[in-house]
Amino acid sequence: MCLGSGPGAEPGGGQGDGVMTPSPARLRTVAVILAGGTGSRVGLDIPKQLLKIAGKTILEHTLDAFESHPDIDEILVMMAAGHTEEAQRLVGQGGYRQVGRVLEGGPSAATRPARLSTC
């Protein structure tokens, strides 16, 4: 087989010489799940993403959707402060192989200062 031919190769540079060059590598697609809410605005004592619906937490339903998507290469979870261990436990129990990291999120919308518009 000639160098630059085969699956994924494209005709090179439009030079008309028939030389095949490899196509550009596909960029990695990383899904970031923003699960930093605390549930306080709806009166919960746990983050909404840890509520169970149909036998799984909302976070697990979300992870299932991203984990099964063919174009997602890695998943990062931004979890509510103080709840990262629970999220890591769910990731481990669920066997979510594409989750690269569970990181602690910043202040919740209910506690961070309001932003003033300059318009």
Q: Which of 2-16, 42-56, 66-80 has the highest mean pLDDT?
A: 66-80
What pLDDT does 9 receive? 44
CA atoms within 13 A on the CB side of 69: 15
Q: How large is the average pLDDT for residues 27-43?
A: 87
For residue 6, what are its two tokens? 């085969």
Average pLDDT over residues 9-37: 71
Flag whether pLDDT at 14 surpasses 60. Answer: no
For residue 89, give the amino acid letter.
R
Q: Residue 38's closest CA among 8, 86, 69, 80? A: 80
Average pLDDT (47-74) is 95
Q: What is the pLDDT of residues 72-108, one digit of tens each?
A: 999 999 999 899 999 999 999 999 999 999 999 876 5
Over residues 15-37, mean pLDDT:
78
Report whether 34 contacts 105 (CB < 8 A): yes
Using the Cα atoms of residue 54, residue 70, residue 47 and residue 77 in order, give the sign of their dihedral: positive
Structural domains in the chain plus CATH codes:
30-104 (3.90.550.10)
Average pLDDT of span 51-76? 96
Residue 7 confidence (pLDDT) above 70: no
Strands 52-53 vs 56-57: parallel, antiparallel or unpaired: antiparallel
